[in-house]
Every structure is written in C-alpha cells, then in structure tokens.
Structure 1
Amino acid sequence: MAQAIGSASQRASGFGSGGLPRNGGSAKGSGSSNRPRMTWKNNLNALVVDNERFSQHVEKGILRNFGVETEAVETGEAAVELIASGATFNLIFIDISLPAMDGPRTAMQIRAMGVQSKIIGLSSSLTEEDEEEFLRAGVDKCIEKPLTTAWLVPVLRELDGQI
C-alpha cells in the first residue's frame, strides 16, 4: 500500500522509522573507517534514478554500504529502457525532478510494464502535492532527501523478508 513516511520534519531528519540494526547485521571495516554492513538472506539490488550526480553518489554509497548491489541512471527514459531490457531490481529510487520525463511519469511507466518492485519517490523539498502525484503514479513511499540509514534499514529488512 502506498504511503508517505512520517511528518515532513521526520522525513527531513530521517527519524520516525526505526534506526540502525542491533542484531542481524554485522559491522565490518571498509578501508580506514567502520561502516555498517548488513548480512542479508537474499541478494538485494536497487536502481537509483537521479540526475544530480552528488545526490546519486550519496544514495548509491549508502545502499552499497548496506550490501545492496546498486545501479544508477540519470533520466527516466534510461530507467525505463534498462528495465525493458530485462534488468530487475528489488528497490527503485526515483527523484521527482528529472529532465524530460519527471519522476512520477517514470514511476507510472515502470508500473505499466508490470514491475512490482518497491518504488520510492525522492525530493529535496517534498510538498504534499509532490507526494500525492508520486503516490497516484504508483510509488510505494515518498521521502525527502537525503536518504538516511535510519529510514533505509527497516525497508531493506522488509524487502529481504519478502523475497
């Protein structure tokens, strides 16, 4: 069922949806820093659709730190083409502001292809109108950037249990 996550302030802060795991994951060092790593029963993979390279880099980094195989594209058209070519993803993040085909239209086209993946709408300044448009397009949840680990961990756990 489609839903928005928490209040605007909760979405902005990333609180209100759980926190970092205490069990079921392991902390492993990566290079010189300790980064949270999760151990999943299944292989999780995600597609990030975001034309802002910095945001895309951050989103991919967070997902990869949690052991999620991640691909990224910069346009809605590229996302639709990738999925049409047979690529499958457990989780798809779509920014609302994309060139040519915006986030809601991208989500609508992906859903029209029969894709059942969890789709998350992203915006740097999420309004009620943005949420409504995304949810009407078939997005499962909407969050305000930045993507946070406090929000992501429960979603990944849920996906891992559904596969």
Structure 2
Amino acid sequence: MSHGDEGSSSKGTEKPFTALIVDDNSLMCKMHESILKSSIGITTQIAHNGKEAVDIFCSGDYFDIVFMNLEMPIMNGIEATKELRAMGVVCKIVGVTSCENTDEKEAFKQAGLDILHEKPLTLAKVNSILEQPQN
C-alpha cells in the first residue's frame, strides 16, 4: 500500500487521510472500506486481526484513524488497542462491535478507544466519528 507517496500528488505535499480497518469478517471489511473510500475518499488498508494491525504499525505505517473490531482470532480488539496505545499510537481508534456483553464493551473502551460504535458502520456514523475531536 502506498499511502506515503507525497511526491506523486499534483496538489503538492498534502497527504491523504488514511484509515486502517481491522476486522476478520471480509464482508464487514468490504462494507466499511466502501463507505470510507467511495463515499468519503479516505485511503484505506485492511488488517484481518489485531496482530496484523500491530504489525502494520510496527513496520512504520501510520494512519489517521483505526476502525478496530472487538472479536477476532489471534489478537482481539482489546489486546490490539492496548498494544497500540502502549506503542505510543495516538491516532483515533474507533471500536466497532456487534457484541452485546456490556462488561466486554466496557473493557474495550478502557483499552484505549476514543469511541465505540455498533456494527455495521454507516456513512452517518462515520461522518459523526470524523467530526468529533480526538480525546
């Protein structure tokens, strides 16, 4: 993924707004990617579990916002969010879940989320997330 190609833009050095979608459900990834890319024009990348997300950040990539699923194999959203925050990641991390368990949702928020939303994301939800200032 080449979201760091600053020299190739005719607009100068303005970098595109970037989002990392972290979800093991490929249909959900496609839906969320479509909203972000097609409707808003955000450059996206996908990670299929929390470990992939952590590895992407470890490789030096940076994103303006992360949409993190709660329930995933290998490394769930709580573990991944805690790890990213411990690494010093300061971008907005949005939890996305269909989980009904209140305790689990609270643990997810406490892991370092800026906000938590129910799945699936909609254009209205994404626009409201992008308009909110980061904590």
TM-score bracket relative to the smaller structure: 0.7 to 0.9
1:93 paired to 2:67: yes
Partner of 1:12: none
For this pair of structures, how many residues does the alignment match?
120
Q: Which runs of 4+ in 1 moved over 6 A?
A: none
1:139 paired to 2:113: yes
Residues in 2 aligned to 1:105 and 1:82: alpha-carbon distance in whole angstroms: 15
Residues in 1 aligned to 2:115 and 2:80: alpha-carbon distance in whole angstroms: 15
Residues in 2 aligned to 1:95 and 1:129: alpha-carbon distance in whole angstroms: 16
Q: Is the 8 A contact 1:126 1:144 kept in 2?
A: no
- Superimposed CA distance per residue, residues 101-125 of structure 1 (whole angstroms, 9 cap, x where no aligned partner): 1111000000011000100111123
Q: Is the 8 A contact 1:91 1:118 kept in 2?
A: yes
- Superimposed CA distance per residue, residues 86-138 of structure 1 (whole angstroms, 9 cap, x where no aligned partner): 10001101111110211110000000110001001111234322321111100
- TM-score, reference length from structure 1: 0.68
1:61 paired to 2:34: yes
* Percent of residue pairs bearing the same amino acid type: 33
> 1:95-134 residue pairs with structure 2 within 5 A?
95-134=69-108
> 1:1-163 residue pairs with structure 2 within 5 A?
43-65=16-38, 66-158=40-132
Q: How much is the aligned-residue C-alpha RMSD, in angstroms?
A: 1.8
**Higher relative strand content:** 1
- Superimposed CA distance per residue, residues 17-59 of structure 1 (whole angstroms, 9 cap, x where no aligned partner): xxxxxxxxxxxxxxxxxxxxxxxx8621100010000001101
Higher Cα radius of gyration: 1
Q: Is the 8 A contact 1:50 1:74 kept in 2?
A: yes
Shift of 1:157: 3.7
What is the DSSP-based 3-state SS (H/G/I as helix, E as strand, rest coil) of the residue aligned with 2:124? Answer: helix
What is the DSSP-based 3-state SS (H/G/I as helix, E as strand, rest coil) of the residue aligned with 2:45? Answer: strand
- TM-score, reference length from structure 2: 0.82
Runs (5+) with no aligned partner, structure 2: 1-13
Residues in 2 aligned to 1:42 and 1:158: alpha-carbon distance in whole angstroms: 20
